Chains A and B, each alone.
Chain A
Amino acid sequence: MATLTSPVAPEQRPEDERDFRPPRYRRPFGIGRDTAVQYAVIALLAIWVLAPVVPTLIQSIRSEPLYEDGGAFTLDGYRHLFTDAGFGRVIWNTALFATLTTLLTLLIAIPMAVVVVRTKLPGGRFFALAMQWPFFISSLILGFGWIIMYGPAGFVSTEFRNVFGGVPWNLYSIPGMAITEAVALAPIAYVFCANALRQSDASLEAAAQVCGAGPFRILTQVIVPMLRPPMVYSSILIFSMSIETLSVPLLYGQPVGIDVFSTFLFTNGLQSVHPNYSVLGAASVIILCVTISLVAVQAKLLKDAARFVSVRGKATRPRPLDLGWLKWVSIAAITFYVVFGALIPILGLVARSFTRIFTPLRNPLDFVTTDNYSTITRYDTYVQSIWNSLIVAGIGAVVVSVIALLAVMVARRSNFRFGRSVEYLALIPQAVPGIIIGIGFFWAFAYAPFGLASALPGTLTALVIAFGLRALPSAFGSVAPSMMQIGAELDNAARVAGADWVMTFFRILRTLITPAFIGAVVLVFVIMLKEYSPAVFLSSADNNILGTTMLELWAQGTTGAVAALATIQIAITAAFVAIASLLTRGKHHA
C-alpha cells in the first residue's frame, strides 16, 4: 500500500499505476466539452448582440418595412433625413444637451469625489453612500419628481413664486433637461473618479506633504491632475449616455417641441400614423455610429490610462487632508445635491401619490387619500405591469448574470481563440441606445425563424431579451474584476491536477465567485427594473411594464397614479437592495 512513504518508483507497483492514470475526457469528433461550451457562448452572444443591429442596418437602406414583401435598396432614408425632417435641428439640440449634461455632471461629481475620498469629512462614509443614491432611481422617475416639484406648476416653483414673485428657472428647456440628467448621471462619474482616487498611490501625496505643500496645493497640484484620465473617460461615457437617454427629453422637451435623437426616433417610430421606416433606420444607424465611436474612444482611453495607474502591492493607507472651514462648504454642497437633486423630488412624488391635490397653496394634509393606489389596483393591466416588471427583472437578473459569468469565464479564464471577441461582444451593447435596441428587436422578431416571429412579439420573453442585452455590459463589468482577483494559478493548479476547464469551474471557481455573482444579480435586477426605453417599441397590452404604464398614465394626465407607481417602484428597489446587502453581509461572515 505504501506509495509515498517508500522511495520506490511507482512503475514497480503495477497495481497502483492503474489507479493513477490521468483522467480521460471524451472528445466526440475531437471536440471536448470545454470547446463546445466556449463556442456556444460566443455563438449565443453574437446572435444576441447582432440581432437588433443587423436589421436596423438593413432597414436603413430598404424602401419598405422589413416585414413586408417588396421594396428595394435605396439611400432615400438618409437623403430624406438630411434634407427635411428637421434632423439638423435635432443634431444641434442633442449636441447642446449632451455637452451641457456632461459639463454639469463633472461639476457635481469631481469636487465631491475629491472631497469625500481624500479629505477629512464628518460622516464621510455616509456621504459616500448618499452620493450614489440617485443611481438606483430611474431617470424617468427622477423626471416625474422634478416636474412635480420644480416644473412650471410644481410645488417648489409655486411656493417660490409666492415668496419672490417669479421663478428664475424654466425646467422645460435644454438647460433644465441637462440639470436633471446631470443629477441622474453624476453617480456614474463620481464612482469612476472615486475609484481612481482610492487606487492612486497615497505616497504621492505624502511626498508632496514632505516637500512642504499644504492641503490646497496638494489638492490642486497632485490630486486633481491625477484625475485627468477618469475625467476624460467618464465624460465620454456621460456624453454618450445623454445622447441616448429618452426619459428627460421625452418629459421636458416634447411638450415644448425640443427634439433630440431619442425623442426623434420615438416620435417618428411610434406617434406618426405611417412611420417611415427607412428614415427611422437611417437615423438609428447614424446615432449608433456616434455612440459606438464614442464608446470605442472611451475604451481606447481606458486601456491607455491603465498604463498610468500605479497600484503598488504594498498598501499605503491614504491620510485624508484637512480642509478647515472649507469642509463645511463641501458638506453643504453635497447635502444640497442630494436633498434638492434627489430627496425632495422623490419625497414630492411620494407625497403626490398620497394626495389628491399637491400644491403649497392648500394644505396637502387636507387632501390625503389612497385613491391613487386604488386607481392602480382597480385595473388589472396596471397591477399586471408591476408583476411584469418584477418577472422581467427577476428572471433577467439571473439569466443575464449567468451569461455574463460564462462570458467572463471564456474571455478571461480560458485559452479560447476568440476570447477577446467574446469580451467585445459582451461590452458592445453599452454603445447601443435603449430605444434602438427596442426598434432593432422589433424588426428582428419580425424576421425570426422557427415561428418565433409570431411567438415572441408582445411577450415578457421579448422584454427579457431586450432589457437583458442592455444590462449585459454592466453584469460583465461587475463580474470580471472579481474574477481577475482570483489568482489564475488556482485554475492552473486544478488543471494540472487533472480537472478540465468545466470541472475547474464547478470545483474551484464556483464557490469563490459566488459573492461577485450575487452582486451582479442585484445590479442587473436594479438596472432591469428601471429600464423601459426598449419596451416602448416592444410592448403590447399584455406586456406593459412599470415604465411604459407610467408613460401612458402621464400622457393621460393622471399624475397621481404615476406618482403611486413610481413610489411602488422605488419601494421595490429599496427593499431588494436592502435584502441583498443583508444577505451578502451574511455571506461574508460565513
Chain B
Amino acid sequence: MPELTVRNLRKQFGDNTVLHDNSFTIKDGEFFTLLGPSGCGKSTTLNCIAGLEQPTGGSITVGGTTFVDTERKIFLQPEERNLGMVFQSYALWPHMTIEKNLAMPLKIRKIPRDKQRTLIHEALEKVGLADLSGRYPHQLSGGQQQRVALARALVYSPTVLLLDEPLSNLDAKLREQARAWLKRLQEDLGITTIYVTHDQDEALALSDRIAVMAGGHMLQVDDPHSIYERPAAPEVAAFVGRCNFFEGAVLETVDERHTIRLGCNDGVVEVHSSTQVAVGDTVTVALRPERLEVVPAGEEVAGMNRLDTEVLTSSYVGSHYDYDVRLGSQVVQVESSTPGLTGQVQVVFKPANALLYAQTVELSEDERELITVDS
C-alpha cells in the first residue's frame, strides 16, 4: 500500500486563510490523527484529501497517483480517488437497506453480483452486523450505524481510510469501547488511516502519529508520547492534556539548568530544559497539574521547587482530588491524591518536569479572567 504525501497544502476562503502551507507524509499502514479545536483546519485538510474541497495551493499524492497539484492543474474528483470515508453523521443513505448501502460502491465499480454478495457479507461480518443486512439505517442504534458506515467505507478495499470524528456522536461509555474496537480493526486490516478528532484522549489512544493543528498551522507532528511529554509549543501543551502557564524572566542559565523568576508571585524556580534561553528573556513555564504535588505548608521536600500557595477550592473527582490554589495573582490547577487540604499549602515539582518555552502565551480574555484572582 502506498504512502500519502501532502506538500504545502493551502486553503483560502477569500482573504481568510484556513490552511497555511502544511506538509506531511503518512506512511503505509499508519494510523495518523489530525487533532485540534474546532476551526483549526483539520476537517478542511481531510476534505482536501478526499477531494470534497479544492485546495488553493499545494499537492497531494498517494503512491504514484497525484490527487491534486495546483501547479500542474491536476484535480481528481472524489469519485476517482478510491478512498473510504466515514462521516461524523455516518451519512448512511436512509432510503436504502444496510445491504444496499454497501452494494452501492460495488455496483459503481461493476463488480459481479455474486461477488458483491460475498464482499458485503464479509464486510458486515468484520463489523459484527452480518445478520442486520436487511434493516434500514434508522432501525439501528448509533453504535451499529457507525459500524455500518465503516463497513461501507471498507467494502471496496480503498487505498486510504478517512475518518471524520466517527465516534463523536456516541455516548461516552460506548465511545471508549468503539475506540478499542476500531484500533484492533485497523491493526488487522493494516490500512492507512487518517483520523480527525478534537478529542485528545481518542487521539492519544488510537494513533501511531498525531498532527496537532491550530489556526490552520500544524504545530507538531509526532507520536503520542512525544506530543504529551514534549509538546513543541505552549498551544500543544494546552490542547493535549491540561496545563498551567506562568510567565517569568530568566535570571541565570547554566547548560540546561535555568533559574527563572515567576511573574505572578516573584517566586524563583529552577527548570531543566533543552530550550535555548538567555538571561533577561521573558519565557513561559508550563506545568501539568498531575506533575505538581501539594504538601502541607512548612514541609521540606528535597530536590524540588517549592511555591507557597493557598487552597481556593478542592473537588473530589473520583480517582483523585483537583485543587485550585492561588499563587500570587494566578490560579493554579493541581491534581493530588491527598484529601482535605485547606489554607496555606506548598506546591512542589521537579525541575525536569516543567516545560519551558521561549515565547509568551497569548490567552483569550475568558481564560485570562478565569486564571486571575485578586491578591
Interfacial residues, chain A to chain B (CB-CB below 8 A): 1-5, 7-11, 16, 19-25, 32, 34, 415, 487, 489-490, 492-500, 503, 507-508, 511-512
Give the distance in Å from the alpha carbon of A508 to the alpha carbon of B354 in the complex.
Answer: 55
Q: Knowing A487-B91, A512-B95 touch, does A4 contact B157 (C-beta < 8 A)?
A: yes
In the complex, chain A residues whose CB is within 8 Å of the CB of B77:
25, 32, 34, 495, 500
B79, B109, B125: residue with the most chain A Cβ atoms closer than 10 Å? B79
Most buried by A among B78, B80, B95, B156: B78
Chain A proximity mask over B38-66: 1 for CB below 8 Å, otherwise 0: 00000000000011101000000000000
Q: Which of A3, A8, A22, A494 lies at the interface centre, i.e. has the most chain B CB atoms within 10 A of its CB? A: A22
Contact check, B91 vs A492: say whether CB atoms are below 8 A apart.
yes
- Do A493 and B126 touch (CB < 8 A)? no
**Quick one: which of B80, B91, B110, B123 contacts A489, CB cutoff 8 A?**
B91
Least distance between A48 CB and chain B CB atoms (Å): 29
Contact of A415 with B54 in the complex, beta carbons under 8 Å: yes
Is there an interface contact between A21 and B123, defined as CB atoms closer than 8 Å? no
Q: A5-B122, A489-B89 are in contact. Are A23 and B108 (CB under 8 A)?
A: yes
User: Is B132 engaged at the interface, CB distance under 8 Å to the other chain?
Assistant: no
A277 to chain B, nearest CB (A): 45
A503: min CB distance to chain B, Å: 7
A5 in contact with B126 given A494-B104, A498-B156 (CB within 8 Å): yes
A497 to B51 alpha-carbon distance, docked (Å): 12
Docked pose: A3 CA to B93 CA in angstroms? 24
Q: How far is the CA of A302 from the CA of B131 in the complex (A)?
A: 50
Which of A489, A495, A511 contacts B79, CB < 8 Å?
A: A495
Residues of A within 8 A of B191 (CB): 9
Which residues 76-108 of B sit at the A interface, judged by CB distance below 8 A? 77-85, 87-89, 91-95, 104-105, 108
Q: Report 7 cross-chain contacts, Cβ distance below 8 Å, ordered by A residue.
A: A3-B119, A7-B187, A9-B190, A19-B109, A489-B91, A493-B87, A496-B81
Question: How far does the alpha carbon of A32 sit from the alpha carbon of B80 in the complex, in Å?
Answer: 12
Q: Please tell me which one of the listed residues A19, A498, A511 contacts residue B115 in the complex, with CB atoms under 8 A apart.
A: A19
Q: Establish whether residues A492 and B1, one from each chain, have CB atoms under 8 Å apart when the complex forms.
A: no
Of all chain A residues, which has the CB nearest B87?
A: A489
Contacts of B198 in A (CB 8 A): none
Contact pick for B80, options A4, A24, A503, A511, CB 8 Å: A24
Interface residue B147 (Cβ < 8 Å from any Cβ of A) = no
Knowing A22-B82, A492-B78 touch, does A497 contact B122 (C-beta < 8 A)?
no
Residues of A near B153 (CB, < 8 A) are: 496-497
Chain B, residues 253-270, CB within 8 Å of chain A (1/0): the string is 000000000000000000
Chain B residues contacting A490 (CB-CB under 8 Å) are 91, 93-94
Candidate in B87, B91, B118, B153 with the most chain A CB atoms within 10 angstroms = B91
Output the least CB separation between A487 and chain B (Å).
Answer: 6
A496 touches B119 (CB 8 A): no
Are the CB atoms of B85 and A492 closer together than 8 Å? yes
Interface size class of chain B, counting residues whose CB lies under 8 Å from the partner chain = 35 or more
Closest 6 A-B residue pairs measured CB to CB?
A22-B82, A489-B91, A493-B91, A497-B105, A495-B78, A496-B85
> B160: shortest Cβ distance to chain A, in Å?
11
Residues of A within 8 A of B187 (CB): 7
User: Do the beta carbons of B154 and A497 come within 8 Å of each other?
Assistant: no
Q: What are the residues of chain B within 8 A of A2 when measuring CB–CB? A: 122
Chain A residues in 8 Å Cβ range of B91: 487, 489-490, 492-493
A317 CB, nearest partner CB in chain B, Å: 22
Q: In this complex, which of A9, A16, A495, A497 has the most chain B Cβ atoms within 10 angstroms of its Cβ? A: A497
Q: In whole angstroms, what is the CA distance A492 to B95 when docked?
A: 16
Judge if B111 is at the interface, Cβ distance under 8 Å.
yes
Contacts A494-B93, A495-B51, A497-B105 known; A3 to B157 CB distance under 8 Å? yes
Q: Which residues on the B side are within 8 Å of A16 (C-beta)?
A: 157
- Complex Cα distance, B330 from A469, in Å, reads 67
B188 close to chain A: CB less than 8 A: yes
Least CB separation from B82: chain A residue: A22
With a cutoff of 8 Å between Cβ atoms, the chain A residues found around residue B157 in the complex are 3-4, 10, 16, 20
- Whether, in the assembled complex, B209 has its beta carbon less than 8 Å from a beta carbon of chain A, the answer is no
B82 A498 Cβ-Cβ under 8 A: yes
Residue B189 CB within 8 A of the other chain: yes
| B1→A11 contact, CB < 8 A | yes
Does any Cβ of A come within 8 Å of B11's Cβ? no
Asked if A1 and B118 make an inter-chain contact with CB atoms under 8 angstroms apart, the answer reads: yes
Chain A residues, CB < 8 A from B126: 4-5
CB distance from A37 to the nearest CB of B (A): 14
Pairwise interchain contact A498-B79, C-beta atoms closer than 8 A: yes
Chain B residues numbered 278-322 whose CB sits less than 8 Å from any CB in chain A? none
CA distance A84 to B213 in the complex (A): 70
Q: Contact between B105 and A498 (Cβ–Cβ < 8 Å)?
A: yes
- Asked if A5 meets B52 with Cβ closer than 8 Å, knowing A489-B89, A497-B152, A499-B108, the reply is no
CB-based nearest B residue for A20: B157
Residue of A nearest to B80 (CB): A22
- Chain A residues lying within 8 Å of B119, measured Cβ to Cβ, are 3-4
Within 8 A of A (CB), among B179-214: 187-191
Measured CA separation A70–B60 after assembly (Å): 61
Residue of A21, A34, A507 near B104 (CB, 8 A) is A507
User: Are the C-beta atoms of B188 and A7 separated by less than 8 Å?
Assistant: yes
Render B137-170 as a binary contact track against A, CB cut-off 8 A, 1 for contact: 0000000000000001111111000100000000
Cross-interface CB contact of B85 among A11, A23, A24, A493, cutoff 8 Å: A493
Q: A7-B189, A22-B79 are in contact. List 18 more A-B contacts (CB 8 A).
A: A4-B122, A7-B188, A9-B190, A11-B1, A20-B82, A20-B157, A23-B108, A25-B80, A489-B87, A492-B52, A493-B87, A493-B91, A495-B78, A496-B84, A497-B85, A498-B105, A500-B77, A500-B79
What are the residues of chain A within 8 A of B118 when measuring CB–CB? 1
CB closest residue in chain B, given A507: B104
Q: Which residue of B lies closest to A491 (CB)?
A: B91
Q: Output the least CB separation between B8 and chain A (Å).
A: 22
With A and B bound together, what is the CA distance between A25 and B108 in angstroms? 11
CB neighbours (8 Å) of B158 from chain A are 20
Q: Which residues of A contact B29 (CB under 8 A)?
A: 9
Q: Which of A492, A499, A500 has the most CB of B within 10 A?
A: A492
**Which residues of A are found within 8 Å of B94, using beta-carbon distances?**
490, 512
Select one of B104, B152, B156 contacting A20, CB under 8 A. B156
B82 touches A3 (CB 8 A): no
Interfacial chain B residues near A487, Cβ < 8 Å: 89, 91
User: How far is A512 from B92 in the complex, measured between Cα atoms in Å?
Assistant: 12
Q: Is the CB of B109 within 8 A of A498?
A: yes
Q: CA–CA, A16 to B155, complex, Å? A: 12
Q: How far is the CA of A112 from the CA of B82 in the complex (A)?
A: 56
A129 CB → nearest B CB, Å: 29
A496 adjacent to B95 (CB under 8 Å): no
CA distance A497 to B162 in the complex (A): 12
Write the nearest CB–CB distance from A29 to chain B, whole angstroms: 15
Least CB distance from B88 to A in Å reads 7
Give B124-138 interface residues, CB cut-off 8 Å to A: 125-126
Could you tell me the distance in whole angstroms from the C-beta of A548 to the nearest C-beta in chain B? 44
Q: How far is the CB of A77 from chain B (nearest CB, A)?
A: 42
Which residues from chain B contact A5 at a C-beta distance below 8 Å? 122, 125-126
| Pair A19/B189 contact, Cβ less than 8 Å | no
A27 to B135 Cα, complex, angstroms: 38
A507 to B50, CA, bound (A): 20
Residues of A within 8 A of B109 (CB): 19-23, 498
Chain A min CB distance to B183 (Å) = 14
